[in-house]
Structure 1
Amino acid sequence: MTYLREARALATATIVNYVPFVRAFLNDRFGKGRVTLSRLCAGDVVRFAQRQAQRMQPKRAKLLTAALRSFLRYARYRGDITLDLSAAVPVVANWAMPSIPRGIAPDQTRQLLASIDRRSKTGLRDYAILLLLARLGLRAGEVVSLELGDIDWSAGRLCVRGKSTQCNELPLPADVGKAIATYLIRGRPRSTCRRVFLRARAPITGFSGPSGVGSVVRHAIQHAGIDAPTRGAHQFRHGLATEMLCHGASLGEIGELLGHQHPQTTTIYTKVDIKALRTLAVPWPGGVQ
């Protein structure tokens, strides 16, 4: 993990996601016997990757292959293997922008927020979390890792640590700031933990991972009885980007808010603005048939 964090500069969430894949690969190859990396061959890598990828969605299969490549490069770096077995990891087919992002609609977001019972401490927490997702498009992991020192109340700004270790500063909308402040004053349990959002049950500490925020979203949607596109937190990110695009924001502005490192990542949202895309369509020769 130290190699991935320091030499590869990978985010903690990425490292956590890699570990189960590597463990499964080693267990598949060596079982309960002694792990001898020098015995690995390209066939072991290919068979495992192909067999596992068949059961996965493309996005998760790509995470699997990335984890294997990273592990095999590290094994070679340590001298445990001599060949570059990372080159044997198959490439997962990935058609560019295969589907339209499934974003939650603005009226559904308003209905969801209105359904939260802010008379309870848990409700105050969940309301603030949902506002962060809806108004700033944060990833679940970014909400989880948010710490008390990341909020500059006097400047009205928020330091968000995304997939990289760099801090992305975002303006803190007044309603979001008010929701967080109300939770900190009236809803947050006493704790030495510096995370902004804490578990409601013992042990009183921060969420262990993005799944904690996912659980908040899922329960809120179920309670509100909303027919949302998905049950996950990412739909708010897609919904915000879609809404910004429909109101004239540029892809650059959307990418900056969402913390995209590469411009190509933001171009997927051009598929949701059907009205704008229709203006680019070439008229059919001879008129409408």
Structure 2
Amino acid sequence: MAAPKRDSARGRETSRPPRPESRLLARFADHLTYRRGRSAHTVRAYLSDVESLFAFLDADPDGDLDEVVTRRALRAWLADVSRRSARTTVARRVSSVRTFTSWLAESEVIATDPGASLAAPAAHRTLPGVLRAGEAAEALSAAALGAEQQDPLALRDHLIVELLYATGIRVGELCGLDVDDVDRDRRVIRVLGKGDRERVVPFGVPAERALSAWVENGRPALANPRSGGALLLGARGGRLDQRQARTVVHRVLDAVPGAPDLGPHGLRHSAATHLLEGGADLRVVQELLGHASLATTQLYTHVSVDRLRAVHDRAHPRA
């Protein structure tokens, strides 16, 4: 039986992806899993993209690849993919194939890396919708009102939206939290993010109240031997699934008149935007969100024109 692997997106152990029939692709999967530290989900995506390349080439991955995986063949494949797929899909597949051809050359399966010069059209990066501060407050109030009857699932749902908005963590990071990851006295959570990077994120008093209500009155009603150390549980006591968390967020926001239809990522973006509009430093927001690059935070967040003008008027000598 294959050894379990720690999945950085959830912070817990999961089974590794199914082993490909091809010996070469199985080695590539091992490289991604053990050398690159990729999650099972990411490995499956890489393998799917590489398998689609070999299907286009009508070639056997375990054959002689020097005459098959050439720059000309890759360009023909890219042209075909570009005609049939969205820009974001093309960019992802090119990234997968470039990783694969680089590994082939590094492993001396082929003499040179033909994917090094392979370039995809830049994907359009669009900002997700964002709640206004009043809409966020209304959504959280509605979730708190639903939790007043002390129903375990309502207490859990209140905590889901409070923590997502209070911390800006990813939904996978939320579902991966264990009880021991929460320091209620200091009001911080320990989060294992992308690339197994660990960070500590604070949360406020409203989230602490929702957390206390869940831990003391909600979680014990659902916990069973399947629960382990998971902080958030499903109705049957297992660790909360990301799809369930998304459903909760959509349902809560659907009750707010005029609010955009957002999922957990929208709450994350709203939290970052409201932090910036409240005066938080961009690098602080980068640390809270767990971005490896400040450029990602700059694309991910936006500051209102009114605030930019106000800061300019206050700070610039020639304003």
TM-score, normalised to structure 2's length?
0.71
Preserved contact between residue 101 and residue 272 of structure 1 (Cα < 8 Å): no
Q: CA deviation at 1:241?
A: 1.7
Alignment of 1:91-240 (within 5 A): 91-94=120-123, 99-116=126-143, 117-118=146-147, 119=149, 120-185=151-216, 186-187=218-219, 188-190=222-224, 191-201=226-236, 204-207=237-240, 210-222=242-254, 224=255, 226-240=257-271
Residue 189 of structure 1 aligns to which amino acid in structure 2?
A
**Aligned counterparts of 1:54 and 1:229: Cα–Cα separation in 2:** 32
Match for residue 36 of structure 1? 62
Q: How far, CA to CA, are the matches of 1:177 and 1:217 in structure 2?
A: 19
Report the RMSD for the aligned CA atoms in angstroms.
3.1
CA distances 1:77-109 after superposition (whole Å, capped 9, x unpaired): 3443333133143233257xx655532222222
User: Any idea what the Cα deviations from partners look like across 1:241-282, whole Å, max 9, x if unmatched?
Assistant: 22112221121222122122212222236743211334659x
For residues 110 and 7 of structure 1, what CA distance do their matches in structure 2 show? 44
- CA contact under 8 A between 1:139 and 1:234: conserved in structure 2? yes
The verdict on how the C-alpha distance between 1:28 and 1:155 changes in structure 2, with shifts beyond 3 A counting, is: same
Q: Does the CA contact (< 8 Å) of 1:69 and 1:89 recur in 2?
A: yes
Indicate if the aligned counterparts of 1:65 and 1:89 stay in contact, CA closer than 8 A: yes
> Structure 2: how far apart are the matches of 1:236 and 1:193?
27
- Tell me which amino acid in the other structure corresponds to 1:69: R
Q: Which residue of 2 aligns with 1:69?
A: 98
Indicate which of 67, 75, 82 corresponds to 1:46.
75
Q: How many residues align?
A: 273
Q: How does 1:8-27 map to 2 (within 5 A)?
A: 8-10=36-38, 14-27=42-55
> Match for 1:103: what amino acid?
V
| Structure 1: tracts of 5 or more residues without a match | 282-289
How far off is 1:167 after superposition? 0.8
Q: Is 2:273–2:302's contact at 8 Å kept on the other side of the alignment? A: no
- Mind listing any 5+ residue stretches in structure 2 that lack a counterpart? 1-28, 314-319
For residues 229 and 56 of structure 1, the distance between their equivalents in structure 2, rounded to whole angstroms, comes to: 28
Given that 1:140 and 1:213 are in contact with CA atoms closer than 8 Å, whether structure 2 keeps it comes out as yes
SS for the counterpart of 2:199 is: strand
Q: 1:138-168: CA deviations, max 9, x gaps?
A: 1122112222332233443211111121210
**8 Å contact kept, 2:165–2:267:** yes
Q: TM-score, normalised on structure 1? A: 0.78
